[in-house]
Chain A
């Protein structure tokens, strides 16, 4: 009897220790977001006078003044517009370029080079450190008179995300039962027709995953935005870095800008959680 109780007690402890570990990790994951929020609604005078966790209403009277001030700055608005246009333009370009390639690699057989080598070739772009192409891309964009344009940033972001899109969407096509497509082909449809009317529609979840992930990555991209944009095409991350550079790091504005920058990709991640987990793991486990 006593023995049995011990086992059940041990199980309880086991269970709760796992729970606690996960809960602790989850709290640490969220804490910095909370900290940014409480910084952003604090009066600048109170930046360093409020101690510890800085709970709004309890330890200080929150204010929206910092938000209003930051969002009324022309550069901040322009950065938000630029980042949105660049992210959406990139997603559109990726859809057009990446989806057919993903379909080809899922459904057609290539001999020389083989499908496997083609996939690895696409994948190899992802592991190339981006710094390697920074200088040449800068020179090319200068030659093309594309420096400080949104188009240039759309072009480089398509390049970065193309492998990811090809891998994730290819997996999506592979998951469609091939019998459906074969039946349509037997009925006399050609491959382009099957692709457009059948496969593309069935692969929507993986397309969504690929698009959302590349929108988030494009929104977050910093290195190339930093070298290509100087005024007209400045994105949110570059705006953040620039503002801190000229005015010093003002905590209250840092709080606002951090949340402003992080909100779109983080909200996308939460909304599309199921897709993203699947996309990331398909992209990683299967290549």
Chain B
């Protein structure tokens, strides 16, 4: 082997091997487990696709799919629209822009478990911040619809700055002379946005949407702490349902099957994601 080939493999192989051992192997091991009925203390029994058949006749599982979709749709839509609005507002010289940006970044790295508990006290119906401050009596945590909205708000509080930062970077990469040329044609801001800003920003926008969708499908810590999946099953998203099946009922085979269904759903979006970022390399 040439020394150059040897060194490049030496550099790459440890990381590649790591991914094989800790991601690819568990992935297929999980797929294998989903074909069994796993019984602690007893014998594991091969049951083929029964766990998947069970998924499609399990009302709670199908409800979890619905809840997950509603959550992803709601939170991503709100975050991208508000993030874009803020990015447009910040894409100009403004006094205090640095301070405002710092303030906006804070929630991005806040511990999700803590976000869940914190919003529990914020949405608490008697003496919580929101109802107290606005003098309203919204059943944030005891009504199924509002509980889902509460989770979407908490998630949005955390992730809006992600959309904001990336979209702002996208806006700032649009060359100035494009705007200067457009200013000769029209002064209508809406026209400039629609015909100049939007087309330039589109790849970034698509990327942000897809990144947020794949990220939103992973949601776990916030519903786990804010609503515990309730009231009833109103906020029981797929990852939580799989966690419950595995870690509370020790039904490891079925839990694996549920996880793979979550994977299949998100895969649809990932294919889009890869297609749109492939050009970047």
**Residues of chain A at the chain B interface (Cβ within 8 Å):** 15, 18-19, 21-23, 25-33, 35-36, 39, 47-48, 51-53, 96-98, 100-101, 103-105, 108, 110, 115-116, 118-125, 127-140, 155-156, 158-159, 162, 166, 190-192, 195, 216, 219-220, 222-223, 226-227, 236-238, 240-241, 244, 249, 251, 254-255, 257-258, 261-262, 265-266, 268-270, 273, 276-277, 280-281, 284-287
User: What are some 27 contacts across the A-B interface (CB < 8 A)?
Assistant: A15-B94, A19-B95, A22-B90, A29-B104, A32-B118, A35-B121, A53-B133, A101-B16, A103-B11, A104-B8, A120-B281, A127-B266, A128-B23, A129-B239, A129-B263, A131-B262, A132-B259, A134-B246, A135-B256, A220-B113, A227-B243, A241-B224, A244-B225, A254-B117, A254-B118, A284-B211, A285-B204
Alpha-carbon distance between A84 and B157 when the two chains are bound, in angstroms: 26
**Residues of chain B at the chain A interface (Cβ within 8 Å):** 3-4, 7-8, 10-12, 14-16, 18-19, 22-23, 25-27, 29-30, 33, 82, 85-86, 89-90, 92, 94-97, 99-115, 117-122, 124, 126-127, 129, 132-133, 157, 160-162, 165-166, 169-170, 204, 207-208, 211, 214, 217-218, 220-221, 224-225, 238-239, 242-243, 246-247, 252, 255-256, 259-260, 262-263, 266, 270, 273-274, 277-278, 280-281
Alpha-carbon distance between A244 and B228 when the two chains are bound, in angstroms: 12
Number of A-B contacts (CB under 8 A): 284
> Which label, helix, strand, loop or mixed, suits the secondary structure of the A interface?
helix
Shortest Cβ distance from B15 into A: residue: A101
Among A32, A53, A116, A156: residue with most chain B CB under 10 A: A32
In the complex, what's the smallest C-beta–C-beta distance from A98 to chain B, in angstroms? 6
Asked if residues A136 and B266 are in contact (CB atoms below 8 Å), the reply is no
> Which label, helix, strand, loop or mixed, suits the secondary structure of the B interface?
helix
Contact of B89 among A22, A105, A159, A284 (CB under 8 A): A22
Alpha-carbon distance between A110 and B5 when the two chains are bound, in angstroms: 9
Which residues of B have CB within 8 Å of A15? 94
Asked if residues B26 and A254 are in contact (CB atoms below 8 Å), the reply is no
